[in-house]
Amino acid sequence: MRGRMKRQRLFWALAAVFAVLGTVLRAIPGMRFSGYLFWCAAVVVIVYALLDRLSAQKPAAAWGKRILLVLLAAGALLFAVMESLVLRDNDTDADGQDVTCVIILGAGVNGTEPSLMLWSRLDAALRYVADKPELPIICSGGQGPGEDITEAECMARWLTAHGVDEERIWKEERSTSTAENFDLSAEVMLQHGIDPTGNFAFVTNDYHIARAKRIAGVPWAYGVAATLPENIYYSALQLNYYIREAFAMAKLLVTGG
């Protein structure tokens, strides 16, 4: 009896810690997903604590504990598999040097300035094309909430401000998703006489490359990895995105979108 009461106190304390961590993380920009995960963990601990409390009197509760543990183990295994897929393709593809063009996948714009994620993609693209002066660049991204200009226009302005010839920059300003980035950029390629079934590179954040390749749906799309600056906050943010990406990968493989 005493041991069960001690476990109950531990469970409720753990649930409280998870709930507080979730609330704190949801208040930090970019960490909302991790906040939700901690809230979900708090709920799971509470459910397990209630089942544990009832299991001595009700056999159904004991079975509920076992089922919950099995589900958690299966979820952990699925997460490990999805995360391994994300990590396997999280670097710039060495085969992507001989390409016909490079597509920069859009990300958020704060007014008229690139967000952190978009800035990291632009920085990676600038380094990628540094030794490819003739390579066309497709800036792909429409205009979303809080954006005063399209993501493509923001990217084009940033690239020209950093010395890229505007004649080699083509804008695709209608897309609102990664799938549309690729589909509508293919139309831009055709308009400029480039075969979209040929080799092309795309720039996105390292954690997003694996899923973007599957969305592109072609074997000749080569990822160029953008990374965040190195400090404690950005490292935590990067971890948050890697965890979130495993869930997004699972959704893509199950639903196809």
pLDDT at 59: 86
pLDDT at residue 81 is higher than 90: yes
Residues 85-103 have a mean pLDDT of 91
Q: From 97, 96, 113, 117, select the one nearest 105 (Cα to Cα).
A: 117
pLDDT at residue 105 is higher than 80: yes
pLDDT at 2: 66
Residues 128-151 have a mean pLDDT of 94
pLDDT at residue 76 is higher than 70: yes
pLDDT at 86: 97
Specify the pairing of strand 137-140 against strand 102-105: parallel
Residues 146-175 have a mean pLDDT of 96
pLDDT at residue 143 is higher than 80: yes
Query: Of residues 211 and 232, which shows the higher confidence score?
Result: 211
The Cα–Cα gap between 193 and 4 comes to 72
Query: Of residues 59 and 241, which shows the higher confidence score?
Result: 241
Q: What is the pTM of this model?
A: 0.90
Segment 1-37, tens digit of pLDDT: 666 788 889 999 999 999 999 999 999 988 999 999 9
Average pLDDT over the chain reads: 94
**Cα three-residue angle 52-54-56, rounded to 5 degrees:** 85
Residues 164-169 have a mean pLDDT of 95
Residues 122-147 have a mean pLDDT of 95
